[in-house]
Chain A
Amino acid sequence: MKEHPDAQYYIRGIELPETEVSTDLEPWGETRVVGKPLPRVDGYERVSGTAVYPADLTLPGMLYGAILRCPHPHAMVTAVDVRRAAAMPGVRAALTAFTPLDRATRPHADMIRTQLFDPHCRFQGEAVAAVAAETAYQARDALRAIQVQYEERPFLADERKALEPGAPQVRDSGNQAGETQVYQRGDVARGFAEADVVLDQEYRNECEIHTPMELHGCVARWDGDRLTLWESTQGVYNVQMQVAATLGMPFSLVRVVGHYMGGGFGSKLQTSKYSVVAALLAKTTARPVKLVLTREETLLAVGNRPASNMRLKAGVKRDGTITAMQFWGSGASGSEPAGGVSLLDWPVRDTYTCANVRTELTDLLINAGPARPFRAPGHPQGAWALEQMMDALAEAIGMDPVALRVRNVPTVSQARGNVPYTSTGLRQCLEQGAAAFGWDAVRAEIARQGNRGTVKRGVGVAAGLWVAGGGGPPSTAVVKIFADGSVNLNMGASDIGTGTKTVMAMVVAEELGVAPDAVEIEHADTGSTQFATGSGGSKTVPTESPAVRAAAVDVKRQLLELAAEELKVEVSTLTLRDGKVVSTQDPAVTRSLTELQGLRRRRSLTGVGYRGPNPANKAVTPFAAQFCEVEVDTASGEVRVVRFVAAHDSGRVMNQLTYQNQVFGGITMGIGFGLTEERVLDVDQTGKMANLNWHDYKLPTMLDVPADMTCVPIDPKDTECNATGAKGIGEPATIPTAAAIGNAIYHATGVRVTHTPVDPLRLVAALAERGEG
């Protein structure tokens, strides 16, 4: 699928390594370690200050790099004079579009061949030049001494005007990225004719920016022809392959290390130009170079969830049958094709049973920083439209909003040609979530009380699913057991803070009968660990855990064969527990791992595991339903989120604690998307970003998030999706949140606010329009 984050390799024609497939593993029954709320195996490093993030690294002789960025939304660079900058104390290199190193065009992350410093700057924040100096201050001072001649061009900052005649052109090919994509099943005209009620509504979401707490950055060092990058990334192999392709190097000579990183949410899934810049500065100076972006740069140049414009027309019969849905969506990729409408229509296509569906998606270009995948691309936006529409339909036919959703739970993936799901817990999410929330009781109570004051209470529900659940091949893992019974796991996956290492240690512990903290992990290093795709798409656990399990089972098989020989029993009667080989039939037959002669002679045993394919002709999909209560101050327009209940079917819960972390973090990010976060562009005057800092770009703080959040895991006991039964939780957790809040605001006030973020200004305006507040 084009939208899948890892699809970038295919598109560029870079062969994805084929891996073998491990033998089918029996599904787990009862587990002894997996599922428990175990703290992170690297908790000590993360709380003690000893974890080394890329920006913490200092190498002998290291220089500091910095990038000069275009201050205009649209301009041609006609000349760059670095003579003054290059002569300043401590400055060791200056690169521009006019230095010989950057004459050639290269394939960059956007699949467009340009110079590294493209003289045609199509967004505020495009790289224009770079320097390396002895200190960070000298590098920043040198940037200010670079003289650039810009020829400003008319800019386009609002994608809603992109196709108007005479609109400034972002690229020569026009302001639309590709053709409008149309999806259709059934006949919507017939469906609307069959409906008792047809509603038609427009929705809009403003652009949201990832802003992980850690800045993007890396350290680059060359040893002869070999490049090492210590990178803040979600996928070391993503960076390796992209940097190698850009610099025309073999993969093997680019080593990328990414042990600790401070959050990415999609913005660190692909490679940024700064990594190539750091590599070139290091090459030019023959010194290591650290290049860490500023907060402003990360707000401008390393991705966003694009603004979305949506219209949804839907028909329903009195009995709750949804007869037709027609959806129009457009979004802003930014200055280059970057998935501006990626997956925007998926919730409409696949969340509910509906025979007649038509969607149209139009991806538009504007003079602003390109989009990147952001925690469930397209889905929170699509759910914002669909789930508010479901509420409106329910009201129109006098049905409870939960009941209407339950009535339309699908058992097959309609958008994939009606293939069945390996499991679907959407009904349980809705029903058990409603029970945990006290849905019926609280709605009855609010109705009884009448909501008369200026502060009004409301509750809302929204459901969701995530298209790319379940992960998939390729992935390789290696497990090694030493003669003393301790274990080493080698895998390429990054732990982006979600607890990947912890979950994988638990999988190894489960199979080998050792304690999770006896498992040492090597990970996220292209030089020394196995291949893994990037940690994104909620696919890390469902991709990696079956491969890790297969590797552990491979070691287990070897251990049990050795033990069977030494104990002179059938291998099928043996298993591993608490560091011992034990018989399942005779308690007297037991041998400690450290007493196995075969292991002592070999010193270690190594097992290899591969991620097998997902089941053919089945869809693997996580489902969710979230419920929230809000208080709306109709005088000030403020919304207080009082509590949340999140019921999720993400398959097996691998670790209760890290699972809850994803759910509560996802809800909080959804609160930001729904209520506070917005990239404000000065669309008319300058085209520049007007809230280029965390003071004006509002993340939810402790004051904005309820301390009352409840996680209701639904485990459908999925034995088909993969060998561990996990489907992925990171993204589903944020998909329904904003829509649930929107529905609760409507329940409280009777006013439907269709435009996020629902800040006090928008809400007061909507209330005033209705003559309230």
Chain B
Amino acid sequence: MPRPRPTADPAVITLEVNGERCAVAFAPHKTLLEVLREDLDLTGTKHGCELGECGTCTVLLDDAPVLSCLVLGLACDGRRVRTVEGMAEGARLHPLQETFADLGAAQCGYCTPGFLLTAQALLDANPRPTRDEIKAALAGNLCRCTGYLKIYEAVELAAARLRGEDAEPARETLYGRR
């Protein structure tokens, strides 16, 4: 039995996703979040509220963090999108991904892709952020698990490594302060 998936006439756009140009056809009312998850199979980008309140769906659009649930797919024609899938080089994780995993900045992991991309945009623009600058950059991303402390530490450690420093996690980060 044929199973049609009727939609309105699809829109077709060309965009660069994680370094590769691709054409994608989708129902024209879809958001970038939906195009990424449903039409490009990039499910690393998560859906948290669809109202622009939680930051979970953050991706980079022309290197700037955007809430992909508030961006129409049609608005991305000819633009560059980076998602969490594009952060690693093959199986080698980005320093931010590495420090998030190693320091426990990812617990359930659901908010993690959004935090990672927001943090990447911060570090691209500001390689040596203060805690207040990290706070200002990441305050739009909600996390219900970690209490954010490990996220600060992971961003700081990744920033040091991206600056070429031979940084290791502080002892108190791993064992706590006594």
Contact = CB atoms under 8 A, between A and B. Distances in A.
Nearest to A287: B3
B44 interface: yes
Contacts of B83: 49
Interface stretch (A22-30, A476-484, A526-534, A697-705): A697-705
Q: Which 5 A-B pairs have the closest CB atoms?
A: A49-B44, A497-B108, A262-B110, A43-B101, A46-B109
Interface of B: 3-7, 27, 29, 37-38, 41-51, 53-54, 56, 83-85, 87-88, 93, 97-98, 100-104, 106-113, 116, 131, 134-135, 138-152, 174-178
A693 B138 contact: no
B152 to A, nearest CB: 6
A507 interface: no
11 contacts: A46-B112, A48-B93, A49-B83, A52-B43, A89-B6, A215-B48, A657-B103, A665-B144, A693-B53, A702-B138, A710-B176
Contacts of A713: 176
Given A49-B83, A213-B56, A664-B150, A40 B49 contact: no
A666 to B, nearest CB: 8
A124 interface: no
B112 A709 contact: no
B129 to A, nearest CB: 13
Nearest to B153: A707
A664 B93 contact: no
A50 interface: yes
Contact of B113 (A39, A43, A49, A710): A49
A748 to B, nearest CB: 23
Given A262-B46, A695-B53, 10 more contacts: A46-B108, A47-B93, A47-B106, A214-B48, A214-B110, A498-B107, A658-B104, A666-B147, A668-B147, A705-B148
Nearest to B113: A49
Contacts of B144: 211-213, 263, 265, 665, 669, 699
A98 interface: no
B50 A295 contact: yes
A55 B47 CA distance: 9
A712 B176 CA distance: 7
A665 B139 contact: no
Interface string A362-404: 0000000000000000000000000000000000000000000
Interface in A680-721: 693-695, 699, 701-703, 705, 707, 709-713
Nearest to A292: B47
A658 B110 CA distance: 17
A590 interface: no
Contacts of A137: 27, 29
Interface of A: 37, 39-40, 43-53, 55-56, 58, 61, 89-90, 134-135, 137-138, 211-215, 260-263, 265, 292, 294-295, 436, 496-499, 656-658, 660-661, 664-669, 693-695, 699, 701-703, 705, 707, 709-713
A212 B108 contact: yes
Contacts of B50: 294-295
A694 B148 contact: no
A45 B106 CA distance: 10
Contact of B47 (A58, A90, A215, A701): A215
B139 to A, nearest CB: 5
A138 B6 CA distance: 9
A262 B144 CA distance: 9
A497 B145 contact: yes
Contacts of B103: 39, 657
A211 B144 CA distance: 8
Contact of B104 (A661, A702, A709): A661
A33 to B, nearest CB: 15
Nearest to A92: B3
A736 to B, nearest CB: 15
A212 B47 CA distance: 12
